[in-house]
Homo-oligomer: A and B are copies of this chain.
Amino acid sequence: MAIIVQKYGGSSVDGPERIRAVAQRIVNTVKAGYEVVAVVSAQGKTTDSLIEMAKSISKTPPKREMDMLLSTGEQISISLLAMAIDALGHPVVSLTGAQGGIMTDEHHTKARIRKVDGARIRAELERGCVVIVAGFQGVSATNDITTLGRGGSDTTAVAVAAALDAEVCEIYTDVEGVFTADPRLVPNARKVTEVGYGEMLEMASLGAMVLQPRAVEVAAIYGVPIHVRSSFSPHRGTIVKEVREVERVVSVTGVASDDNCAKITLVGIPNDMDILCQVFSELAAESINVDMIVQASKDESTTDLTFTVAREDKVQALATIARIQGNRSWTVLCDENVAKVSIVGAGMMTNPGVAAAMFEALKEKNIPVQVVSTSEIKVSCLIPRELYKQAVQACHHKFQLENGN
């Protein structure tokens, strides 16, 4: 029998009525002839109240203990969902991350899945049970509870789907799918019916947080098709899957946007690889994701280094840099008044006119570009945050995304 993995986010299980609705959807999928594994996040309000509890005890709680605390959030939602499915008369079992075989590394609060041991899940499916697995959490080699960081439940779902060789991994969200731009910024943004992993990855990394980038990476590695769809609607959403090159045409799929970034510049650092390696390896050791690295040499001996990080990582990133700096006389600048706008599309870079058209769109609106970075399938520009919405709209219109691809 084919297996479907369904992931439900925190808003989908917020309260008894919604839990019952999810239970009914799962039972309907079973009746349609599938074996179902549901991956569930914590109810939003639960996580908030747990964080508040921790704050009432300590300003700097140990990360291991934060994971111990926060992982109760999913444990509550999986047991409640299992009760709701049981009440509909269907056999069901809930599993914590550890019980579900979600093995991670030991980076508490930002752990990565190393492996999914699907033995227990498979055994429960064979017994005829719906299996509910706690998202966002796992267990380290030392048998400690870990959490995967923001959006980690998507990654759990895709990793479980890969381990079970599921037909599809359905990600239920509060939007209808992946759009050509954030509909809150661009009212005539259009739903994309199908998108490749690479493009989705760029979209996700660049702020279109419908799907966690790590989840897309895992899906791409194992070839798991993802169906991003709404919890509140029966309509087909967006399918993320391998798109063969021959099917591709040069096109911009969408405009991604991210106003949750901070720009850090190290001015006048020594122009050698040692410093560069040290900065990025130590930031990586702290699990701080770095984006848009730009280096411009001033002369032979010194250089300026600019990069962006997520805004919540800013303080930790600056502390790391201060530690590396010691008593050397660099100037460190930090600007939070920035936003990132990117155009994403398969095969886009074989057409150099695309980047030029983007710059033109921004110039027409008098939007200055501070930093540019490009990849095979995207062009990103860092701009002043107050011009964010205008920039997204200008790019969306320039590539006529409202008219369909």
Contact = CB atoms under 8 A, between A and B. Distances in A.
B83 A75 contact: no
A193 interface: no
A120 interface: yes
Q: Which of A50, A79, A87, A120 has the most CB of B within 10 A?
A: A79
Given A57-B16, A57-B19, A80-B54, A86 B62 contact: yes
Contacts of A82: 62, 65, 68
A93 B80 contact: no
Interface residues of A, number: 39
A96 B60 CA distance: 22
A21 B113 CA distance: 38
A61 B19 CA distance: 14
B65 A75 contact: no
Contacts of A72: 72, 75-76
B86 A68 contact: no
Contacts of A19: 57
- Specify how many copies of this chain sit in the oligomer: 2
A129 B69 CA distance: 19
Nearest to A81: B57
A243 interface: no
A13 to B, nearest CB: 11
A86 B71 contact: no
A58 B75 contact: no
Contacts of A84: 57-58
Contact of A16 (B16, B56, B86): B56
A65 B94 CA distance: 7
A28 interface: no
A98 to B, nearest CB: 8
Given A58-B87, A75-B75, A87-B58, A53 B69 contact: no
Contacts of A80: 53-54, 57, 69
A297 interface: no
B76 A94 contact: no
A78 interface: yes
A306 interface: no
Chain B CB within 10 A, most for which of A96, A143, A144: A96
A54 B79 CA distance: 9
A83 B64 contact: no
A241 interface: no
Given A94-B65, A120-B143, A58 B76 contact: no
Interface string A82-125: 11101100001110101100000000000000000000100000
Given A68-B94, A78-B68, A143-B120, A83 B54 contact: yes
B79 A68 contact: yes
Contact of A58 (B56, B58, B71, B83): B83
A59 to B, nearest CB: 8
A227 interface: no
Contacts of A71: 75
A71 B79 CA distance: 11
A152 B110 CA distance: 34
A297 B244 CA distance: 86
Contacts of A92: 62
12 contacts: A57-B80, A57-B84, A57-B87, A58-B83, A62-B83, A62-B92, A65-B82, A68-B82, A69-B75, A69-B76, A69-B79, A120-B143
Given A57-B83, A69-B83, 9 more contacts: A53-B76, A54-B79, A54-B80, A58-B84, A58-B87, A64-B93, A65-B79, A69-B76, A120-B143
Query: Which 6 A-B pairs have CB atoms at the shortest separation, nearest pair first?
Result: A72-B72, A69-B79, A68-B79, A61-B83, A16-B56, A58-B87
